[in-house]
Amino acid sequence: MRKLMGPLFGALLAMSAVSAQADTNSTPPGAPCSKNNGNPCNGNNGNPGDQGNVDPGTTVIDDNPPPIDLAMPAVSDRGVYISQIGDSNAANVVQTAPNAYAEIRQDGDSNDADVAQKGSGTAYAKASQSGTGNFARLRQYGSGQNVVYAMQDGNNNSMRSSQNATGAMYNGARMSQTGNSNAMDLEQDGSDNLALLTQDGNNNGMTAVQIGDGNRLQWTQDGNNLSNLLVTQTGGSDAGGQLMITQTNGGH
């Protein structure tokens, strides 16, 4: 009996190794083809890094970026300008802030832009969409000043921003998407927060949150199916609130 145990135990180990290898190569559960859910499928990168992703690309982070030049335009009273060329476009602006300006330009079909400027401060929003099926929702609140420039060029892109100004210095953002099926979300809550967000490609995701005062973020995605890093900044250079991030994958 003891002589049989050695060969039998070795066979069991071999079968276990084959089974483990088969499990590793199997399709992961949980809708692997859903964008940014952590599982690779058809070029979807899933999580950042090399852990099982398909072409994760390159991510470079600089914690000492150059200054961001984004000025706050002078605004007095309220004003709205809307220009739409194409079919089935929708534009909506709500202003209750004492000083607010909103400009919406849409060229294409089935685009939707929604702007709300509320609170007791000053708000400036400028949105431009070209293509088909794009969606932009811009929200500005608070007692201070907010400025946002939003641009989308392509099809089925979505963009959302929420700015709550609470101090003497203004919050500012320039958001740009070129390509198809990109998603971008930005939240600024505080004072003196600036963000430049740019996506060039398809099926990219970008979410950024700036809380507190003095945050600076310059984030660029150039390629397709790039991972959403879910960046959160909590105030000032001492807290690591100064970042420049570049993600690329050569368009694969």
* Cβ neighbours, 10 Å, residue 23: 8
- Please say if the pLDDT value at position 31 is more than 60: no
Q: What is the tens place of the pLDDT at every residue in 129-149?
A: 999 999 999 999 999 999 999
Q: Quick check: 242 and 65 in contact, CB under 8 A?
A: yes
The answer for residues whose C-beta is within 8 angstroms of residue 13's C-beta and 6 or more apart is none
Alpha-carbon distance of 163 to 146, in angstroms, equals 6
pLDDT bucket at 25, cuts 50 / 70 / 90: very low
pTM score, two decimals?
0.78
